[in-house]
Amino acid sequence: MASNQKVSLTTATALVIANMVGTGVFTSIGFQAADIPDANAILIVWILGAIVALCGGICYSKVAELYPGYGGEYHFLTKAWNPTLGLIGGIVSIISGFAAPVALAALAFGAYFSIFFKTANGNITAIAIISIITIFHLFSIKTSSKFQLVTTTFKIVLILLFIIVGFWAKDSGNNFNNDLPSIDLFFTEGFSRSLVYVAFAFSGWNASVYIFNELKKPGTDIKLSILAGTLIVGSLYLLLNYVFLKVVALKKLQGVLEASELAASQLFGKSGGEIISIIICVLLLSTISAMVWVGPRVIERMGNDVRLLKWFDHKDEERIPYRAILLQYAITIIILFSGTFNFILVNTGILLNLSTMLTVAILFKHPLSLDKKTYFAAILFLLVTSSSTFYLLLKVLI
């Protein structure tokens, strides 16, 4: 591959940010407010989420160092454990990690788009946006990189503008005080449930490992892109939620899915809902683009090893795995019309958490290669992730 086709650290970081920042941060605080009636405690949950994501990033960087190669969990699980586990991890990544989230993000895009453009059909808009973004990624890595960088930059600018306006706004929520939250709050079912929402909002921190072979300096770029992307997103999430809690009373937020629209109405008046709908549409453009770019690399990597998928181990003259891109597009469209989104949404968290935990557990096969920082990060990540996975399992089974 020519050097000008390689992905820079800046673009890899943008890819991580784009995968992480979706609708989760704009929709989950209403449920958190219902579970944790304390604004300071809610912010602590977001800080904890950022710490866990950083721990995951440290762990994945080390795993990528031990097992260099692209394809994410498929590659790691295949090389470290066995091909069967790797195949399961790859299928989970393709369906639950990329195709289903793309479908859901596109539906969300269609819903928010129709708020601003009243005559727009949400489903048709969803199909159209997936199709347009897929076409973008069929041209070249250079085109994908530019599109990702532009949309992610626009995303960050819009969020920062929202935060700046919020900091200047009047404290109309009256949610904050100088009292520390009760320690009992951190041992409740509501706190565990809130942590699940936050984990969902932070998912995507490992995006750059999937394009290992397209990075200019994969050894350092994976580590730096994950850490930089997670720190940036963690800071934005904390500030954004502070603004939500500053301008809207906790009681008004409780159980409200459109919490961001409430905050926008406080900041921008009656037109706030329409403004936030366009902002979220722009955010989702970047998110969909990142997953359309990254997901097919798993399919292509599996095509190297699995005979039935060999046809998808193919690139055009621009080194684009267009067959894998089109397969993910087809899977996404099928899911879009399947009507099983609630089931997929609940089970996605379980499957992805299990896959991620198995990947981090690889580190304990190489105890002599672990420093204290990585060892501590792995333990903390596994403890928190396993607890949220256990909660999700209970939710499915009971």
Q: What tens digit of pLDDT does each residue of 188-203 get?
A: 777 877 887 788 788 8
Report the mean per-residue pLDDT for the chain. Answer: 86
> 376 or 338: whose pLDDT is higher?
376
Contact between 361 and 339 under an 8 Å Cβ cutoff? The reply is no
* Residue 182 three-state SS: coil
- Over residues 215-233, the mean pLDDT reads 92
Query: Is the pLDDT higher at 264 or at 80?
Result: 80
Measure CA 353 to chain center. 13
Q: Is the dihedral of CA 223, 226, 229, 234 positive or negative?
A: negative
How high is the pLDDT of residue 347? 64
- What average pLDDT score do residues 374-381 get? 95
CB-based burial label for 157 (10 Å; 0-12, 13-18, 19+): exposed
Name which of 47-51, 111-115, 305-309, 319-323 the model is least confident about. Answer: 111-115
Q: How big is the chain, counted in residues?
A: 398
Contact of 102 with 295, CB cutoff 8 Å: yes
Q: Are 206 and 56 in contact (CB under 8 A)?
A: yes
Residue 1: pLDDT above 60? no
Residue 242: HSE in the Cβ half-sphere, 13 Å Cα cutoff = 18
238 phi and psi, to 5 degrees?
A: -65, -45
CB 249 within 8 A of CB 16: no
Amino acid at 217: K
Helices assigned H by DSSP within the chain: 9-20, 24-27, 29-35, 39-66, 73-80, 83-92, 100-116, 122-136, 141-168, 189-202, 218-247, 250-253, 259-268, 272-305, 322-336, 341-361, 372-397
**Would you say 291 and 57 are in contact if contact means Cβ atoms under 8 Å apart?**
no
Domains of the chain with CATH codes: 3-397 (1.20.1740.10)
Tens of pLDDT, residues 266-275: 888 877 777 7
Q: Bin 69: left if φ > 0, else alpha if -120 < ψ < 50, else beta.
A: left
- Dist CA 207 CA 212 (whole Å): 10
